[in-house]
């Protein structure tokens, strides 16, 4: 069963409006999670906020957000004040503009969400906007209040629906020139390029979501299952040895290609 939407509102393009629902496209529900316990009693340990000066616990009703403007000086903001910010964009995705689908680099993509029509009557309007973006090779740009902050979002047609990506803020993306600028831009040896291309051809596969499996989680589940049955702790997995420094790249490439050829036999 599909999870319930966490957001409902309207998709708007000029005078065309339709009700929509949004659900996060990813989940961490299946991840192994742990509680912190008191080893002596076996009871769970609970966390609570404590006044930094008096050391006394703070009641939930007395917790409030604060913006620091000086040493030990804060501006207090109540929940209703935070909710009132950018109120216009809390329930309407008003598409401000369209840009070429390939013009936004992957590094700006933050979190994906599935956007679907929330009313049979509005499906036609939803489908027209979706298919028009698909046929023109564009994506829509809007602004929306999500996770208590107004942010730019990108609407990308995908199958029968639309994927809404939250986009990172400008100050969150570091300039790649600061990191890549010092790398030598000399062209590699053509022979080496041919050999690496051969290795790439040998290892090229069809994409499969199974490639993203989590072996650490599988190992944790194995340990938990063993403990449930009263078995001894499984043997510790051997850590991989770090690769030795490559002295001769050409020799290493030849050995790699020969190794790949041996695997095919």
Per-residue pLDDT tens over the stretch 150-195: 889 999 999 999 999 999 998 999 998 998 888 888 888 888 888 8
Is 209's pLDDT higher than 90? Answer: no
pLDDT at 102: 94
Per-residue pLDDT tens over the stretch 74-133: 888 887 776 665 555 578 999 999 999 999 999 999 999 999 999 998 999 999 999 999
pLDDT at 2: 65
Task: Find out whether 140 and 155 touch, Cβ atoms under 8 Å.
Answer: yes
**What 3-state class would DSSP assign to 179?**
helix
Is 43's pLDDT higher than 80? Answer: yes
**What 3-state class would DSSP assign to 36?**
coil
Q: In this predicted structure, which of 1-5, 69-73, 100-104 has the lowest mean pLDDT?
A: 1-5
pLDDT at 225: 77
Between 222 and 234, the higher pLDDT residue: 222
pLDDT at 201: 86
Is residue 215 very low, low, confident or very high in pLDDT (cuts 50, 70, 90)?
confident
Per-residue pLDDT tens over the stretch 227-255: 777 766 656 656 566 666 556 777 877 88
Is 264's pLDDT higher than 70? Answer: no
Which of the given ranges, 60-74, 197-211, 222-236, has the highest pLDDT on average?
A: 60-74
pLDDT at 221: 72
Is residue 9 very low, low, confident or very high in pLDDT (cuts 50, 70, 90)?
very high
pLDDT at 126: 95
Q: In this predicted structure, which of 50-54, 114-118, 143-147, 256-260 has the lowest mean pLDDT?
A: 256-260
User: Which residues are paired to 13 by β-bridges?
Assistant: 16
Round to whole Å and give the CA distance between 46 and 44.
6
Query: How far from the centroid of its chain's Cα atoms is residue 94's Cα?
Result: 24
Structure tokens of 11? 């998709």
Round to whole Å and give the CA distance between 1 and 12.
29
Structure tokens of 108? 């700006």
pTM value is 0.68
Cα separation values, 133 from 13, 104, 127, 199, Å: 12, 15, 10, 38
Q: Which of 9, 178, 195 is nearest to 92 (CA)?
A: 9
């Amino acid at each position: 069963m599909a999870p319930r939407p966490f957001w409902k509102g309207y998709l708007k393009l000029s005078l065309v409006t339709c009700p929509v629902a949004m659900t996060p496209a990813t989940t961490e529900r299946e991840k192994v999670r742990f509680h912190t316990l008191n080893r002596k009693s076996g009871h769970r340990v609970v966390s609570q906020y404590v006044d930094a000066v008096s050391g006394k616990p703070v009641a939930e009703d007395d917790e409030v957000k604060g913006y620091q403007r000086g040493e030990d000086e804060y501006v207090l903001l109540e929940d209703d004040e935070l909710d009132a910010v950018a109120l216009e964009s809390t329930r309407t995705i008003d598409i401000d503009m369209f840009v070429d689908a390939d013009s936004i680099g992957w590094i700006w993509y933050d979190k994906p969400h599935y956007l679907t029509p929330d009313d049979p009557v509005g499906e036609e309007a939803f489908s027209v906007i979706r298919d028009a973006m698909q046929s023109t090779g564009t994506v829509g740009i809007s602004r929306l209040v999500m996770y208590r902050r107004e942010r730019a979002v990108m609407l990308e047609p995908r199958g029968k629906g639309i994927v809404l990506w939250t986009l990172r803020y400008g100050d969150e993306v570091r300039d790649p020139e600061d990191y890549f600028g010092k790398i030598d831009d000399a062209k590699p040896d053509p022979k080496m390029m041919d050999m690496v291309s051969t290795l790439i051809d040998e290892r090229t596969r069809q994409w499969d979501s199974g490639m993203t499996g989590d072996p650490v989680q599988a190992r944790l589940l194995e340990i938990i299952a063993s403990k449930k049955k009263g078995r001894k702790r499984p043997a510790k997995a051997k850590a991989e040895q770090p690769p030795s420094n490559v002295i001769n790249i050409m020799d290493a490439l030849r050995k790699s290609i020969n190794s790949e050829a041996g695997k095919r036999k």
